[in-house]
């Protein structure tokens, strides 16, 4: 199971962390730093479908020559997510930080509507770092605390 830590060292329930593209990058008020750690298996289960679609779209793109990370993907023969995790972790980290932050977060986390609002919940609003190491993907970012509410 993935882990979630409010920095410096307060573990929180993974299921209490959510995100959604409509709130991405909108850090307002009091934010907290958070580190999320996921196994390769978890990332493959959650993000492979998106990755496969991205590779198909980018590899079939006509027009201007590719640049940056996408040119590297092309040079590598449009690798699978598993290959990226195992053989090209720095490129994958860079690509997530440069272009795929909200997409990656959206696929590995639940939407806010799926959280139990009767306990503290956290909304991941931005990423500040991505690291792929030791069969894990670790992201650091800013979370906002949801106002706790109880069902009536």
Long-range own/partner contacts, residues 3-11 (CB < 8 A, 24 or more apart): 3/36, 3/37, 4/34, 4/35, 4/36, 4/37, 4/122, 5/34, 5/35, 5/36, 5/37, 6/32, 6/33, 6/34, 6/122, 6/143, 7/32, 7/33, 7/34, 7/35, 7/140
Closest by CA to 102, choosing from 43, 22, 12, is: 22
Q: Using the predicted structure, report yes or no on whether residue 81 has a pLDDT greater than 90.
A: yes
Domain contains 115? yes
Domain contains 36? yes
Domain contains 137? yes
Q: What is the pLDDT of residue 26?
A: 78
Q: Using the predicted structure, report yes or no on whether residue 149 has a pLDDT greater than 60.
A: no
Domain contains 150? no
Domain contains 152? no
Give the tens place of pLDDT for each residue, 96-127. Answer: 999 999 999 999 999 888 887 778 899 999 99
Find all residues with CB under 8 Å of 8, minimum gap 6, and list them. none
Residue holding tokens 């500040």?
Answer: 128
Q: What is the pLDDT of residue 109?
A: 95
Q: What is the pLDDT of residue 60?
A: 84
Domain contains 31? yes
The H or E element containing residue 83 is: helix 81-87
Number of domains in the chain: 1
Closest by CA to 138, choosing from 22, 39, 58, 24, is: 39
Strand 17-18: give its sheet, edge to edge.
10-12, 3-6, 31-39, 136-145, 122-133, 17-18
Domain contains 151? no
- What range does the domain containing 128 cover? 3-145
Give the tens place of pLDDT for each residue, 7-59. Answer: 999 999 999 999 987 778 877 778 899 999 999 999 999 999 999 999 999 88
pTM of the complete model: 0.89
Domain contains 82? yes
- Measure the CA–CA gap between 90 and 86, rounded to whole angstroms: 10
């Amino acid at each position: 199971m993935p882990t979630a830590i409010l920095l410096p060292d307060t573990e929180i329930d993974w299921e209490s962390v959510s995100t959604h593209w409509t709130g991405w990058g909108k850090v307002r008020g009091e934010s907290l730093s958070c580190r999320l750690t996921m196994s390769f298996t978890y990332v493959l289960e959650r993000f492979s479908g998106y990755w496969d679609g991205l590779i198909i779209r980018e590899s079939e793109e006509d027009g201007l020559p590719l640049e940056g990370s996408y040119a590297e993907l092309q040079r590598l023969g449009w690798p699978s997510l598993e290959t990226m995790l195992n053989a090209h972790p720095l490129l994958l980290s860079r690509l997530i930080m440069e272009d795929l932050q909200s997409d990656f977060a959206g696929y590995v986390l639940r939407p806010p509507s799926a959280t139990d609002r009767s306990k503290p919940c956290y909304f991941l609003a931005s990423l500040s770092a991505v690291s792929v190491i030791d069969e894990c993907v670790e992201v650091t970012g800013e979370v906002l605390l949801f106002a706790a509410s109880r069902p009536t």
